[in-house]
Structure 1
Amino acid sequence: MTDIDDVHRESARSSGVERVADVQLSTEHGDFLAVGYLDRIRGDEQIALVHGDIEGDGTLTRVHSECLTGDAFGSKHCECGDQLSAALRTIVTEGRGVLVYLQGHEGRGIGLLAKLRAMRLQAEGMDTVEANLALGLPDDARDYRVAADILHDLGVRSVRLLSNNPRKRDALLQHGIKVTEQVPLLIPPREENISYLRTKRERLGHHLPHLDPAPDQP
């Protein structure tokens, strides 16, 4: 085992994540180093996709919440799959960056089955926040500790965050990751998700200036 491996392993033990494996991964968007982590606190398996030299300041970073329906099945209910693809393309174009893909974040942290139940309530007329609350669940239950631990382990000191969500920025700051810039990741809305996106803007504070004006604006 090399000295560098010893450093990474000791860092992982102190931060709550353990770096388990890394391997080159070629994708339709470009080539990445896939770095696998074990969250020693929750037991979740996590992955970061690294492109180029990311150590240091101002690393273009996407912290992407797991969304099976959007990422794998191409659901039109949300923009998650499109954001995932756009983030990977943007990182490759930039020449350096990292995408941390967070398992355990399905449905803003409520889980897959609860998300499907919430989607059924939305089909009946509730918005995404109302649906979660009607199930007795928080509107957003996500924890970004593990993302910060992974970024620390990768040597990222500060990020340019690919996100429209101010809560994500605040959470990374809380966990010791400096955010030098929040870079919009705007996906053209569809008829199927425009109401969902408006709710994210108006009730969850997402920065989505490309949508039509809010109801209280001229």
Structure 2
Amino acid sequence: MPDTPAATPRARVRVPLRFGDGYAADAELVTFHGLTDGQEHLALVLGDPGPVPLVRLHSECLTGDVFGSARCDCGPQLREAVERIAARGGVLLYLRQEGRGIGLYNKLDAYALQDQGLDTYAANTALGLPEDARDYTPAAQMLHALGITELDLLSNNPDKSAQLHTLGISVRTRIPTGVFTTPHNVRYLRAKADQTHHTLALPGLEEDQQPA
């Protein structure tokens, strides 16, 4: 891996996953020593990963993943990713990068600015923060520690595959996730498609009355 210290697995534990809609899967949760940012990132190994596993880099979203917020699509993406990866075999990396890396409180401050009309990226900029502060070096460290150097990436975000490539991970194919719209997140999703070229099919959707 280019000029990056190696991480090593710290502990492995089996955890049965149960979702509110009744879906269930068993995962092996892996923690790590030596991650460059010192955060407690987590790998969920689902099924038999095989030589070219299906992998998702999922950034933590307390509001969406835990509380079911309809202002983003993070919770449905997480649920979808677990099922798709378990069916094929692969790894979900749960990365502690709340709010595209700006943190929970800053994300909620950005929401307040979005309520005044700014989109998701302009709100971050107005707070003096990056539009997207995420660095996927720890993700690449985790993948290398798991012996994964080639994968199919479950993601709509081209920046993830670009960063992984520079970090020594070969992305054979980028597979889009589903598009999970609500009346509250359409403008948010459109901003991601328009400004950072996420793979999102949003034709014909009405403008959301809520700011992105």
Question: 1:77 aligned to 2:67?
Answer: no
Q: Which residue of 2 aligns with 1:41?
A: 36
TM-score normalized by structure 2? Answer: 0.88
Q: Which residue of 2 aligns with 1:8?
A: none
The one-character-per-residue Cα deviations of 1:67-91 (angstroms, maximum 9, x if unpaired) are: 1111111110000011000000111
* Worse-superposed segment, 46-55 or 121-130: 46-55
Q: Secondary structure of the residue that 1:167 maps to in structure 2?
A: helix
**Kept after mapping to 2: 8 A contact 1:39/1:46:** no
Any conservation in 2 of the 1:63–1:99 contact (CA below 8 Å)?
yes
User: For the structure 1 residues 210 and 195, does the alpha-carbon distance in structure 2 shift closer, same or farther, using more than 3 Å as the test?
Assistant: closer
Which residue, out of 26, 32, 37, partners 1:31? 26
Asked if the contact 1:55–1:154 (Cα under 8 Å) also holds between the matched residues in 2, the reply is no
**C-alpha distance in 1 between matches for 2:25 and 2:179:** 20
Counterparts of 1:155-166 in structure 2 under 5 Å? 155-166=147-158
For the 8 Å contact 1:55–1:156, the answer to whether it is kept is no
Counterpart check, 1:97 vs 2:90: yes
Unpaired stretches in structure 1, ≥5 consecutive residues: 1-10
1:126 aligned to 113, 118, 127, which one? 118
Q: Given residue 98 of structure 1, which amino acid in structure 2 is its aligned partner?
A: V
2:99/2:107 contact within 8 Å kept:
yes
2:9 alignment partner AA:
R
Question: Which letter does structure 2 place at the counterpart of 1:36?
Answer: T
User: TM-score, normalised to structure 1's length?
Assistant: 0.86
Please say if residues 52 and 97 of structure 1, whose CA atoms lie closer than 8 Å, have aligned partners that are also in contact.
yes
Residue in 2 aligned with 1:60? 54
AA partner of residue 177 (structure 2): L
- For residue 92 of structure 1, report the CA deviation from its aligned partner: 1.5
Structure 1 position 205, deviation (Å): 1.1
In the aligned structure 2, how far is the partner of 1:76 from the partner of 1:49?
Answer: 25
Alignment of 1:124-163 (within 5 A): 124-163=116-155
Structure 1 consecutive aligned stretches of length 4 or more whose deviation exceeds 4 Å: none
Aligned CA-pair RMSD: 1.9
The alignment partner of 1:36 has SS state of: strand
